[in-house]
Chains A and B, each alone.
Chain A
Amino acid sequence: MLNSKVPQGPLAEKWTNHKNSIRLVNPANKRSIDVIVVGTGLAGSSAAASLAEMGYNVKAFCFQDSPRRAHSIAAQGGINAAKNYQNDGDSTYRLFYDTVKGGDYRSREANVYRLAEVSANIIDQCVAQGVPFARDYGGLLDNRSFGGVQVSRTFYAKGQTGQQLLLGACSALSRQISKGKVKLYNRHEMMDVVVVDGKCRGIIARNLVTGEVERHGAHAVILASGGYGNVFFLSTNAMGSNVSAAWKAHKKGAHFANPSFTQIHPTCIPVSGSHQSKLTLMSESLRNDGRIWVPRKKEDAQAVREGKLRPVDIREEDRDYYLERRYPAFGNLVPRDVASRAAKERCDAGFGVNETGEAVFLDYASAIERYGKTEANIRGLENPSASEIKALGTEVVKAKYGNLFDMYKQITADNPYETPMKIYPAVHYTMGGLWVDYNLMTAVPGLYAAGEANFSDHGANRLGASALMQGLADGYFVLPYTVGDYLADDIRTGPISTDHPAFEAAEKEVTERIQHFLNNPGDTPVDDFHRKLGRIMWNNCGMARNADGLKQAIADIRALREEFWKKVRVPGTATQYNPELDKAGRVADFLELGELMCVDALAREESCGGHFREEHQTAEGEALRNDADFTFVSAWEYTGDPSEAKLEKEELVYENIELKQRSYK
């Protein structure tokens, strides 16, 4: 049984008590301790900056050319914080409750409460760093609402909140780099973690420019390497986002928790063709004001698909605002998993609205009208004409969502101010990840995981604007304390030598794998395998899953993996910049992870959050949880073959929240 090390005591006091009781490292000793941080997104940058500021010697690694390009940059909508600036009844407890409920009761209470508790501090910190959040005319911070909640607690910077927060965290990182406390290794990929005498003592990294394989020793290693949505090939993740760091940790003893918990985001730009390399998200904030619908009549949907009928010509009574119909209490703001499944249900039933039949409308016409009327009132216009109202409303919408609308137009060549946008769900985020205890330490002592790379806070479904919150909470406010507790034992250890046989063995393995790729007499590009894997995953381990499909998928993935190792062709050499080689390594790991995801999905005989097993649904087609048998975290231990992974369970104990069937009706 895994020990989550959740401190005793009442929920609201756990973190404070824990902070007061954990051990500290004095400033002089910190100077002789090295910490490695892999990944420079919100969690990685903030952790590296904070630890360096405390006095540790930090080495930060990112595969991008600059830490600022980590994929946190692409988060659009916002960051939650229980500030209750809007006086709408928000509180730490309510943020905690919403997050646990939104996660369909599959997250760890104590972690989520701590997240809610530190959330307010994140906003203070970011503002102090010069993050330009949106403000109202009084000069104070503005908020908006997001899916799955009934308060406005989301802070934002237009549709570029992730960018602004990451630049803030990177500025803190830059400050420490300039002081020499952080050494940055950009264009470096982590190839393996090194475990010496049961403790994580460093990593093997590869300089992507020169191809050199390097050993880096440290007293502790933090993986903040993001999620693994790219196992689906098509996702909203960046092209380089990968699972390799987490997977290597898994193979060295870290448990992989809830790998099948994948978030399918309901509002993405639909796939347009087989050439597609990635999918683009349209921020969830658009669901604040936009209304989602499909035609009520199948013949209308057919006509729209064939381009014979314009959506704006479909009469109001012939439209099916299916989210408002099915979930009157939350309407268009139901959580992501619910919204995604509802879209799939309509499209599967034949109401899809693009050529592929896999798209629904996201309509701003009524928002434009509503804002236009308000604006006309503000300006004192009497009896404004419909076109005046539209012009005024368009202006308001432009100010709020302009960059998103521009992006949509750029990609689709449609003007969303004039015609409803077309959207469809796409893989966006992975709630699963490395299993960590309350201190964010994996099952390998000294190896930590933060941000999307760990599993801890979002259960089976993440609420919008919570990923940024978690990344920064882990990096700024959790790890700096908990890592110190572990390192207190290491003040006499001295520098970690990289001559240990464990380093040698790890490096050898890395080098051999690279040589295998380069010498393999194959003929098929890496992307071919990645695309095939993605199709298997999307069809069988996507928005809806069933036992037969998952079993088939496992068999298919195993066959594909075998073929990959035989037939993959990697051009170029190991001593120069070689993106195909980097990709090959990542896809090799995805080919193992994909199998584990299916194994996990198969084992979890219930529907919860993003994990929807067709065998387990209510008569109305809603997810049916099985709390009696599955209120646990599935933490998988590597045994040499993904299908043979050993399942360890962490029972989830709910002392402060009553488990209920989620209802947004």
Chain B
Amino acid sequence: MNLTLKVWRQNGPEDKGRMETYPVSDISEHMSFLEMMDVLNDQLVRDGKDPIAFDHDCREGICGMCSMFINGEAHGPGRGVTTCQLHMRSFKDGDTIYIEPWRAQAFPVIKDLVVDRSAFDRVIQAGGYVSVNTSGNTIDANTIPIPKADADEAFNAATCIGCGACVATCKNASAMLFVSAKVSQLALLPQGQPERELRVKRMVEQMDKEGFGNCTNTGACEVECPKGISLTNIARMNRDYLTASLKGE
């Protein structure tokens, strides 16, 4: 198939950036979206032009590196998929496709479609862990039984790949889904209890500091999340933060 791509080009953090148009031809429907981008870049290099920078790594939907805002949606029109898992069979011959980077104050553009998501890491560093030493001299793994339902729910929250689609898609660029997924995972497990209140307060504080927006509960993040992280996690974080705030230090 033949397509017209409208791609955001920005030559660095200081550049203003603009949309540019590229035609691509002979695209197979079996290609992944990123393979289609490879074809375009290959052509650009051969033509002596600057290829389009985009983030990608595992190309199987788990590393969370790829991040394209395609036709007005994070990771494009597919549901439950990252950009690398989006296949060209989702598009029609002759389509015009808009490709933009994640846009948020907290995710500054590095180049073209590449953004800096270290803000997420700093939120995790603020408290997204259990303070246990790595000596291995803890208790036996089966000492504390964990109800299967809790373990499964914690797992579901923990499947977040930190891609930032929630922020990208939120009309407020809010990071609530990402932050609450980690808060939830640890709040659901006995190992997370000792630091539960401190954790949620610190992580929310860092989230605010990074300049993410507020949650309007539109639910867009849940829809666009490639891992289907649920809004229930945001509710749990709201609850935990309220409890922690009411109790005070």
Contact = CB atoms under 8 A, between A and B. Distances in A.
Contact of B155 (A141, A164, A172, A186): A164
Interface stretch (B116-124, B168-176, B215-223, B230-238): B116-124
A135 B129 contact: no
A277 B38 contact: yes
Contacts of A140: 142, 145
B60 A280 contact: yes
Interface in B121-153: 121, 124-142, 145-148, 151-152
A383 interface: no
A71 B58 contact: yes
Interface residues of B, number: 81
B180 interface: no
Interface stretch (B1-9, B44-52, B91-99, B240-248): B44-52
Nearest to B147: A139
Interface of B is mostly: loop
A476 B136 CA distance: 8
Interface in A108-160: 118, 121-141, 157-158, 160
Interface of A: 46, 49-50, 53, 64-69, 71, 73-74, 83, 85, 118, 121-141, 157-158, 160, 162-164, 167, 170-172, 174-175, 177-178, 184, 186, 209, 236, 238-240, 272-273, 275-278, 280-281, 406-407, 410-411, 413, 476-477, 480, 523, 525, 527, 569, 571-572, 576-580
13 contacts: A66-B120, A69-B64, A74-B60, A74-B62, A121-B136, A125-B135, A135-B145, A172-B129, A275-B35, A277-B32, A525-B46, A571-B44, A571-B51
A115 B13 CA distance: 46
A129 B155 contact: no
A275 B31 contact: yes
A275 B155 contact: no
A64 B111 contact: no
Interface string B22-45: 000000101110110011011011
A157 B155 contact: yes
Contacts of B31: 273, 275
B142 to A, nearest CB: 5
B211 interface: no
A275 B85 contact: no
A219 B113 CA distance: 38
Contacts of A273: 28, 30-31
Most chain B CB within 10 A, of A118, A123, A133, A239, is at: A239
Contacts of A406: 80
Contact of A130 (B44, B60, B189): B189
Given A66-B117, A157-B155, A276-B35, A125 B64 contact: no
B81 interface: yes
Contact of A73 (B58, B120, B137): B58
A174 B128 contact: yes
Contact of B53 (A527, A569, A579): A579
Interface in B187-242: 189, 191-192
A177 B140 CA distance: 27
